Amino acid sequence: MIILTGAAGFIGSCMAAKLNQEGFNDLILVDDFSREAQKANYQSKVYSELVPREELFSWMKGKESLVQMIIHLGARTDTSEQDERIFQKLNISYSQEIWHVCCEHGIPLIYASSAATYGDGSLGFEDSLPDPSVLKPLNPYGRSKNDFDIWALNQPKKPYFWVGLKFFNVYGPNEFHKGRMASVIFHAFNQIQRTDRLKLFRSHREDYADGEQKRDFVYVKDLTEVIHFFMHHRKDCGLYNLGTGQARTFYDLGDNVFKSLGKETVINFIDTPVDIRASYQYFTEANMSKLRSIGFERPFTSLEEGIADYVKNYLLTNQYM
């Protein structure tokens, strides 16, 4: 069996779909299943059991030898949340307990880290950093992810196979429930459908024109491919970036949403809210050489291809992956 945490969420439910596609049906889906808005993410998946997040460790007792792998994608991901206690409980302590179970019972572990660990990017986006404690994340969420990465690297006892994947700006199916935390593409689609125009943040730096701020936007289907690769690779432990390796502008993003809808591109610019200007990132781009060096050769989906697939096959039809 494979244990998948965060299974009711955006990336976790897409991973469950990928596992089903690859013939893995003995899945133990773990999450807080109390939110009705997330039910559609997992109700069509093939699985063996739903286990509430807080019951996982008691449920596992006596079954550890049956677990082939834990894919730990569950986390509190709200970048605006300021209560450090929530992140300590859900992103650090819970992950540490999973780590210890994997060590004790010889279970391989794949877990989600985040590009939020890189902060403003002034130190680059290098997953080969020998000491991630030099990084300065901009919010409690990013700090919690970096703190766990640092803790994991410093553990004298590690799972025989483990990787932490630093997700960059992920978009794709199954994020209907995320509200304001959904991807920019999701919000752009809905705004364009309502108004036939799109508002983007104006640049407040002289070295960037309006709309030329850049992010490494990565399609969720690429994430599932990389995780599937590591499920079989099972060597070269450590932290890995998971983006495309190519930063694209917000103007490109908006323009491609318009094109996917067959509409004329009309983009207006509004001031970036004062309270987030100091921490606003103008550029992110994953260095993907480490992942490539261990044999992952599959090309990443271009922004054009990803947006077209997402808009036409999921957003317009209200379909789930």
- 26: tokens are 């003995």
Pairing relationship of beta strands 109-114 and 217-219 according to DSSP bridges = unpaired
Kindly report the length of the chain.
Answer: 321
Enumerate the H helices of the chain as residue ranges: 10-21, 39-42, 56-60, 84-87, 94-105, 140-153, 184-195, 220-233, 250-261, 274-277, 289-293, 303-310
Spatial distance between the Cα atoms of 292 and 30, rounded to a whole number of angstroms: 31
Q: Can you name the residues that pair with 114 across neighbouring β-strands?
A: 167
Beta-sheet pairing, 248-249 with 214-215: antiparallel
Q: Which of 133, 160, 157, 163 is nearest to 73 (CA)?
A: 163
In degrees, rounded to 5, the angle at the alpha carbon of residue 284 between the alpha carbons of residues 280 and 287 is: 155
Q: Which position among 42, 47, 94, 141 bears the catalytic label?
A: 141
Q: Respond yes or no: is residue 282 known to be catalytic.
A: no
The Cα 28–Cα 25 span in angstroms is 9
The single residue of 136, 178, 259, 290 carrying the catalytic annotation is 178
Annotated catalytic residue 178? yes
From CA 148, how far away is CA 161, in angstroms rounded? 17
The two beta strands, 198-201 and 267-270, are parallel
Q: Which three-class secondary structure string do you get for 185-246? A: HHHHHHHHHHHCCEEEECCCCCCCCCCCCEECEEEHHHHHHHHHHHHHHCCCCEEEEECCCC
Catalytic residues: 141, 178
